[in-house]
Structure 1
């Protein structure tokens, strides 16, 4: 556990909570810098199959702490170190080996959107409020953050959000693809937990394959390279016994007991 970054585990599901509710869970420079290490510890834990990212109290994350934006030692680029730490945190979340879900209540602004869009899935409830706000403070959103946003909502909606900095409600976020599910008030935590347990019961290798293949397709990778990636993952699921167990469980009308439970260190 790191200050303001709280980790809990319940079976195969880990929850990373941004825990600074008195500041609407705004991330300090130190919190951005600590995130990759926290995520690495969870990624290396063979018991963790699914990661949920959320915020303490009524909000998800109000973004970077404004007080830290100009705190760097380089007067010509005072955000240089913060930007490096921000990008490292995004990469660590985006590359987390298991499925990741952002559970969003209340404000999800700026850096909060960056974190949410690096998760595989985003669930919210009617309290969700979303904004991409660099134009309010004169910041240029990084290409990495912009790319993630464009992949989810398309270039037109991304421009709308980036140009204006306006906040949008949960229904608009669902309609534009910024979130995947909008749940009734009071149902969010229970449904996220239920769905996380479903994910934890499925083939981890199939999920790893799907994660890498969808990322490669979204990045526009060469078709032959994507085909080879899929073929390597297919061979891995077969050799690990995942495929045989899945077929046996289906035939015997029982829940599968997939043999591969650890976290791989890379693609097969």
Structure 2
């Protein structure tokens, strides 16, 4: 008697890149509570790992993810902690991705439904194949899409298109998704792996210090320019920025017409 493989994630490391695979083939890589917990733990570890430059999130096989596993919806979205308070594991995963200290790429192929789009859009960059199919379908099962997902969707596509996607649950093509801005970029399927490798190389060539601080600055900017504490944060950063070793190395490399070797003087890489 055969048994279904247990939904899981795997992390593969190669040359500074950590690839995190969603593995739930029986449900087209739909997310379970255990997968969300594993992802949060793995991402926290990768964020702090000095040997990791870039994190890539992708589905194992042909599909990115079909969203939340329907038979696990209560455990994923409406779990309870020891005090009886609601816990939304999708939102916790979303926050962990947004707060990751390393650049994150969602490599999206095949199906990207519902909460899977929210997870992909929480990454810094979404590289999608032109075979991708997108649908945000919570209305079809009586569910309200999570706040973070709705807010991000409106930011990406505007209120009118967000209404269309959420109220109809319609499946749209990669061409529509590209035109509406649901992903950072959409490339031909046959070029997908080469484009992903080129994107990783671009990120790895840049200063880890600059990438981290600009990720933080962009997060602050998204909160609004009048947010309390921003002026002090920027003042502190600018003092630090003036003396950071990567700036010294980057400027020297430019003047000497050679590739920069960031982190070598500090032993970070």
TM superposition score normalised by structure 2: 0.88
CA RMSD of aligned residues (A): 2.2
Aligned with 1:27 (options 1, 7, 31): 31
- Alignment of 1:89 with 2:89, yes or no, is no
CA distance in 1 between counterparts of 2:200 and 2:238 reads 24
What are the superposed Cα offsets for residues 44-82 of structure 1, whole Å, 9 maximum, x if unpaired? Answer: 21111111110011110001110112469xxxxx82448
Aligned with 1:258 (options 258, 262, 265): 262
**SS state at 1:191 partner:** helix
What are the superposed Cα offsets for residues 152-198 of structure 1, whole Å, 9 maximum, x if unpaired? Answer: 22222222111111111111111111111111121112211221121
Corresponding residue of 2:176: 172
Number of residue pairs matched? 257
**SS state at 1:160 partner:** helix
For CA contacts below 8 A with separation 6 or more, give which structure has more relative contact order: 1
Relative distance call for 1:230 and 1:170 in structure 2 (3 A) is farther
Corresponding residue of 2:3: none
**SS state at 1:186 partner:** helix
Relative distance call for 1:158 and 1:246 in structure 2 (3 A) is same
Relative distance call for 1:217 and 1:60 in structure 2 (3 A) is same
Pairs within 5 Å for 1:1-268: 4-70=8-74, 79-81=78-80, 84-222=88-226, 225-259=229-263, 262=268
Structure 1 position 223, deviation (Å)? 6.5
**SS state at 2:56 partner:** strand
Relative distance call for 1:227 and 1:56 in structure 2 (3 A) is same
Query: Which sits farther off after the overlay, 97-106 or 231-240?
Result: 231-240
